[in-house]
């Protein structure tokens, strides 16, 4: 079962904020506000799960709108990603079992909270617990799409590597993006080359 994170006494203010999540009415938010909200909650859950050293990330969860929401639920049920979480294969395996056991609850969450506008580049805004992480930042409803585009453009430059053997190493997150965006390897490689600076671009062409 999910574990609601318990805050220490010196984090009383944050505990109050977390408690207020249960009383939110997400449907009253503008669409872009919902996207920013779920990105920020997802990243908070991943960071707090890491700080608490939970064995599985799915154990970290908040009560939001009366539902127990984990980072995995945000990715799979609310945002609607088709691919499993990066760097957390065990969580994905266990979560599959939880989805079977608690299928009705997840269907209810989806019917109430699902963002009906899958944007693959949200991948580059979500912290994952993997080695190659997107830059952690707070996203806002104002210009959220431009913020996501900036995150998308900046990730390859910071994380793509070319070794002396001229082998190009792409992070798992880039592969996940290609699957969510339904683009082939040539299109993916072209996008990566377009996103990096001239030095890295020339190295990739060798």
Helices (H) and strands (E) in the chain, counts: 9, 5
Q: Is the Cα dihedral 141, 143, 148, 151 positive or negative?
A: negative
CB under 8 A, 24+ apart: contacts of 49-56: 49/5, 49/129, 50/129, 52/5, 54/3, 56/88, 56/90, 56/91, 56/94
Predicted local distance difference test score (pLDDT) of residue 18: 66
pLDDT at 147: 95
Residue 51 has pLDDT above 60, yes or no: no
Q: Are the CB atoms for 159 and 195 separated by under 8 Å?
A: no
User: Average pLDDT, stretch 88-110?
Assistant: 56
Tell me the C-alpha distance between 105 and 77, whole Å.
Answer: 11
Confidence of residue 145 (pLDDT cuts 50, 70, 90): very high
pLDDT at res. 50: 64
Instruction: Give Cα separations from 99 to 38, 66, 104, 106, 191 (angstroms).
Output: 20, 18, 9, 7, 35
pTM of the entire predicted model? 0.78
């Amino acid at each position: 079962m999910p574990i609601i994170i318990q805050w220490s006494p010196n984090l009383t203010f944050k505990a109050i904020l977390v408690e207020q999540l249960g009383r939110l009415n997400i449907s009253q938010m503008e669409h872009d506000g919902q996207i920013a909200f779920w990105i920020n909650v997802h990243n908070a859950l991943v960071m707090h799960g890491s700080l608490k050293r939970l064995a599985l990330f799915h154990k970290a969860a908040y009560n939001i709108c009366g539902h127990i929401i984990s980072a995995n639920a945000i990715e799979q049920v609310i945002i609607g990603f088709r691919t499993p979480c990066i760097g957390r294969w065990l969580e994905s395996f266990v979560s599959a079992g939880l989805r079977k056991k608690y299928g009705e609850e997840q269907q209810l969450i989806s019917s109430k909270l699902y963002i009906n506008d899958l944007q693959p580049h949200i991948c580059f805004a979500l912290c994952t617990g993997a080695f190659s992480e997107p830059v952690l930042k707070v996203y806002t409803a104002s210009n959220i799409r431009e913020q996501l585009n900036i995150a998308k453009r900046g990730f390859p430059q910071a994380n793509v590597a070319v070794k002396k053997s001229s082998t190009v190493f792409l992070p798992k997150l880039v592969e996940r993006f290609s699957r969510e965006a339904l683009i082939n390897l040539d299109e993916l490689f072209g996008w990566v080359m377009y996103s990096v600076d001239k030095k890295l671009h020339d190295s990739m062409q060798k």
